[in-house]
Amino acid sequence: MSKPVLNVALVGYSFMGRAHSNAYRQVNHYFDLPFRVVPKVIVGRSEGPLKVAAELLGWEEYSTDMAAVLKRDDVHLIDVATPNDSHAPHSIAALKAGKHVLCEKPLGLNVKECKAMVAAADKAKTADGKPCRVGLWHNYRRAPAASTAASLIADGKLGEIRHVRAVYLQDWLLDDSCPATWRMMSKTCGSGAHGDLNAHLIDLTRFMTGLEFDSVVGLEQTFIKKRKNADGKGMLDVDVDDTLLFLAKLTNGAVASFEATRAAAGRKNHYCIEINGTKGSIVWNFERMNELEVYTVEDEPRHKGFRTVMCMDGSAHPYAGNYWPDGHVLGYEHCFINMLADFVKALASGDEFRPNFADGLANQEVLDASLASAKSGKWVTVARSQKLKPAKALKAVAGKSLL
C-alpha cells in the first residue's frame, strides 16, 4: 500500500492503554483511512512490564525514555493514557516537540492545567510547520447510538431542549476492602467519581445538545473515608468524592441534573442520559449501547411511544456500516476505534476534530464549578473562557463495504 504511515507512541498501558492499543491495532481493518496507522512504540517507566505490554498490546517497540521518543522524526502522534496528573506534562511536552496528541479524559487536573494545555495546543506546530492536532478521548460520542442522538437533535427532531438528566452509576467502591489507588487521591486524579464519570456526562450533554453550562450547584459525599493502601501497608485517607451530584442551568434556560457515583449497588457501568425537548425525547443507556430510545411528538397518536432503535443500520447510523450486518452488536471498544478513525481523517483533511482540548477545558470548567459548589454550598457560575461552536453532528456514511 502506498498510504503514508502514521506512527503512534502511547504512554500508559493500564485500562486506557489497553483500550487505545486495541483501537490502533484495529482501525485500519475497519476504516479506509488516509494513513496507515502503526502502533509504533509504547512508553513507560519500568522495562519489565513494558516489554510484556508491548507484546500483548501489539506495539512494535517499547521505550522508557519519553524524551527520546519525542525527538524521533518517525513518531507522529503521542497518545497520553496515564493517570490524570500526568496528562498535562505529557501533552504539553509532546506538543512542544511538534507532535499531534490524543489525550485521555479528563483533560487535566483542573482548569489551570487545562488552560495551559489549550494554549500549548494552539501554538504547537509540527516539524513541517503545520498546526499540531489534538483530540480528547471522550470515546462515547462515537457510539453509533450516541452519534445518532446528536444528529437527531441537531436536525431539530427534539425541538428546543428543556431537560437533561444523566447519571453514571458504578458500584465497585461499595466494597470497603477495595484498596485505594490513584483514583482515590486528589493529587493524582483531581476528583473521584466526579472527574471520572461526571466528565462523561458533561461531555455527552455538550455534544448531544450543543448547549453550554451557565451555573451549577453540587453535593458530594465520601461514604468510606479510609481505605487500605494498595501495597497492603497501612490505611490511606480518601480525599475525593465517592459520589457527586449537581444541578445545572444550561444556556437556553434548560434545566439539567447529573450524578456520578461508585457506590450504587448493582450498577456496573450504568451510564444513562435522557434529553427532553419540545418535540421529542431521547434516552441512551451505555449498558445497552447499541440501542437508542427515541420519542417524537409528531408520531401517530395510536402508536406514539419511545422507540427502541437498534443503531446498527449502516445506511442510517454512523460507523455501523463499517462493521457487521444490522443487529450484530458492537461493544465498548468500538467507540475508541471510531473516534480514532475520525481523528485520522481530520489529520488529513484539516477539518475540525472534536472533542479537542478546548472541549476538555470547557468540560473542566463545569467540573471545577460543581466541585467548588459542593464544597462551598453555593451556586457557582461556570467560567466560560472560550466561545466554542457546537461540534458538527456526525453523519452516517452509507456503508460502502470495504470488501
In the region spanning residues 315 to 344, those forming contacts with a second copy, defined by CB under 8 A, are 315-317, 323-334
Q: Does 247 bind a second copy (CB under 8 A)?
A: yes
Using CA atoms, how far apart are residues 175 and 271, in angstroms rounded to an integer? 20
CB of 326 closer than 8 Å to CB of 314: yes
- φ/ψ of residue 233, rounded to 5: -100, 105
Whether 60 and 69 have beta carbons less than 8 Å apart is answered as: no
Site for a second copy in 287-306 (CB under 8 A): 287-292, 294-297, 299, 301-306
Q: In angstroms, what is the minimal distance from the CB of 55 to a second copy?
A: 6
CB within 8 Å of 85: residues ≥ 6 apart = 109, 182, 187, 188, 189, 190
CB of 377 to a second copy, least distance (A): 5
Comparing CA positions, the residue from 219, 218, 225 lying closest to residue 240 is 225
Q: Helix (H, G, I), strand (E, B), or coil: what is residue 172? A: coil
Residue 64 contacts a second copy per CB under 8 A: no
The secondary structure of residue 131, as a DSSP letter, is B
Does residue 49 interact with a second copy by CB under 8 A?
A: yes
Q: Which residue has the cell 482515590?
A: 184
Using CB under 8 A, which of the segments 188-196, 200-208, 260-268, 359-367 binds a second copy? Answer: 260-268
Q: Smallest gap, in angstroms, from Cβ of residue 152 to a second copy?
A: 6
Asked if 253 is part of the footprint of a second copy (rule: CB under 8 A), the reply reads yes
Among positions 228, 279, 345, 384, the unique one binding a second copy when judged by CB under 8 A: 279
Residues 227-246 that bind a second copy (CB under 8 A): 243, 245-246
Q: Work out how close the CB of 228 gets to a second copy at its nearest, in angstroms, rounded to a whole number.
A: 18
CA distance 189 to 108: 9
Give the nearer residue to a second copy in terms of CB position, either 303 or 387.
Answer: 303
Q: Report the C-alpha gap between 174 and 194 in whole angstroms.
A: 16
Nearest CB to a second copy, comparing residues 188 and 257: 257
Binding-site member from 286, 319, 353, 357 for a second copy (CB under 8 A): 286
